[in-house]
Structure 1
Amino acid sequence: MVRHALASALALAITATINSAAHAFFPFVTDDTGTQGQGGSQIEVNYEFVKEHNDEIDLEGRVIGTGSGTSNIFPTSYTYGITNNLDLFIGLARQSSPVSGWLNSEIGAKWVFAGEQTKDWSFAVKPTLLLPVSKNMQNQGLGNSKTNLGITLVSSYVADKHELHLNLDYTSNRYAMSADSEDQRKSLWRVSAAPVYVINDRWKAGIDIGIQTNPSYSSKYQAFGELGLQYAPMKNLQLGLGLISTTALNSSDNGWSYAITTGVAYQF
């Protein structure tokens, strides 16, 4: 009998990218405290290519093969500013391969409760609700078939030439068990930091590093790192490119993944 961990690797890649796609600090995983302002809106459309790898292990712990796979994902989000310090957002994501279908949708809010968003330190909280897919869709690898909750504490420091963004994130991982599903952790944590260099009015570059709970019991934690670049051809338009690598720490099945994300964000 062989234990396949490839699905867990893909779940991790999606955890590090898709679940943070709605109103994140484009194109980074780590969010910032910025909001749209009262009456303001933002539309963000992304494309993500994900490749994952895991060893296949028998019940005696011997590696008998490797598993790998790729996926193409298209996350989209819309954000509306209720007040200057409160946003509401909805995030959708559709996967085109290896299985075509919609992933878990996300709705939530971001409330800046302390500080100014444009200078020095500011602090925000972001609760989210992840809506379920059907059991059949879960069995195909398109998400969780139970409702899940998340909350993120966000802190940002903004200066003329540099920024620093910090996140502490919790997401529940409830799902419907079936004969084909593997047991996964029900609580997922992530802590991350994104230092950003402001090159000029049009360009920003930065890195995003963090550690998070591995959904799979093959290891306790996973670490990720991202190189990100943002270009603003005009005031209310940003283009982004990110390269993300994720590795399971001390994993029994040598799990890793990488993702390339690109997209556009427009405010109006």
Structure 2
Amino acid sequence: MNRMEMAISLMSKKFFFLFIFILMTCIAGLTPAAFAAIPLITDDTGTQGKGKFQFEVLGEYDHDKEDGIKGETQGITASLTYGILDPVDIVLSVPYVFWRDKESGCTEKEDGLADLAIEAKWRFFEKKGFSFALKPGVTLPTGDEDKGLGTGRANGYLFLIASKEADPWAFHLNLAYIRNENKYDERRDLWHVSLASSYEIFKPLKLVGDIGMEKNPDRCSSIDPAYLLGGFIYSPLENLDFGLGIKGGLTETESDLAVRGGITWRF
């Protein structure tokens, strides 16, 4: 091993331990979100392969201040994926949420299990680095809607995913319809659109970016939440990833600032 290789190896080890420290600091609470390559929100068309598993732990801390109300949402979501066929996965996600609102010195807070999600991903087309997938899913009303931890009703959604791999770049597009049955008089028909990209700087490290928008469920608002996210994915092993990102709101109905981080293990 020459001096340059030794220096890179030493820097990689220091980077790894620094990342673990940061991740464990922020993962104490984070909000559940659709699973993609952590910290991204936009999913890709990749699947695990027949008989293979993937386990993910995603965390997010959201901070928002609007009309004198300071809101914080924290949570953690565990997700298990299994490849039933090479192009088909099934996924179970279990979220736990903490939230707190503070106004005029008064604080309201709750925590508990949120709505479970079950979904499948089917990559139905793949050619020359370009691929399409469908991802249908359902959420089950396991969260207490009276505590703001769920909608109180089962819901469904369908994502169309497109990916383009062109090393060292990758690009991903998500278009979705979300059925939002609820007990809060919110809009029931929602849409989602997002675009993400990644760039591999060198073998263990990728820079990632994500931008997206979703229909606001609040009937009284015509401003849809939109976000911009930047971060990285560090892969010390082929089957192990660490991801960390910062998400900022582009519109007033999106959370002002969020930190997303997590671990992905494939086996």
Instruction: Quickly name the TM-score band, shorter chain normalised.
Output: 0.7 to 0.9
Paired residues of 1:54 and 1:255 also in contact (CA < 8 A): no
The equivalent residue for 1:79 is 81
The equivalent residue for 2:231 is 228
Structure 1 residue 199: deviation in Å?
1.2
Paired residues of 1:26 and 1:240 also in contact (CA < 8 A): yes
CA deviations 1:174-221 (Å, max 9, x no partner) are 1124xxxxx321122111111211112211112101121111232242
Q: CA distance change for structure 1 residues 255 and 193 in 2, over 3 Å: closer, same or farther? A: closer
Selected match of 2:153 from 133, 146, 156: 146
Alpha-carbon distance in 1 for matches of 2:73, 2:226: 20
Q: Which has the higher contact order (CA 8 A, sep 6+)?
A: 1
Corresponding residue SS for 1:100:
strand
Partner AA of 2:37 in structure 1: F
Unaligned runs of 5+ in 1: 1-16, 56-65, 178-182
Structure 1 residue 248: deviation in Å?
3.4
1:258 paired with 2:260, answer: no
Paired residues of 2:177 and 2:189 also in contact (CA < 8 A): yes
Structure 1 residue 47: deviation in Å?
1.8
TM-score by length of 1: 0.80
Structure 1 residue 35: deviation in Å?
0.3
Deviation above 4 Å: which 4+ runs of structure 1?
Answer: none
Corresponding residue SS for 2:152:
coil
List aligned pairs for 1:115-134, cutoff 5 A. 115-116=126-127, 120-133=129-142
Paired residues of 2:209 and 2:231 also in contact (CA < 8 A): yes
Structure 1 residue 226: deviation in Å?
0.5
Corresponding residue SS for 2:32:
helix
Alpha-carbon distance in 2 for matches of 1:190, 1:18: 16
Unaligned runs of 5+ in 2: 1-30, 101-109
Paired residues of 1:44 and 1:76 also in contact (CA < 8 A): yes
Q: CA distance change for structure 1 residues 255 and 124 in 2, over 3 Å: closer, same or farther? A: closer
Residue identity (%): 36
Q: CA distance change for structure 1 residues 47 and 19 in 2, over 3 Å: closer, same or farther? A: closer
Paired residues of 2:32 and 2:96 also in contact (CA < 8 A): no
TM-score by length of 2: 0.81
Paired residues of 2:169 and 2:199 also in contact (CA < 8 A): yes
Alpha-carbon distance in 2 for matches of 1:256, 1:264: 23
Paired residues of 1:149 and 1:171 also in contact (CA < 8 A): yes
The equivalent residue for 1:237 is 240
Structure 1 residue 140: deviation in Å?
1.1
Partner AA of 2:155 in structure 1: N
Alpha-carbon distance in 2 for matches of 1:184, 1:257: 22
Structure 1 residue 19: deviation in Å?
3.9
Partner AA of 1:150 in structure 2: Y
Alpha-carbon distance in 1 for matches of 2:223, 2:155: 21
Partner AA of 1:161 in structure 2: P
List aligned pairs for 1:1-268, cutoff 5 A. 18-21=32-35, 24-55=36-67, 66-98=68-100, 99-116=110-127, 120-133=129-142, 137-177=144-184, 183-216=185-218, 217-248=220-251, 256-268=255-267
Q: CA distance change for structure 1 residues 112 and 165 in 2, over 3 Å: closer, same or farther? A: same
Partner AA of 1:194 in structure 2: A
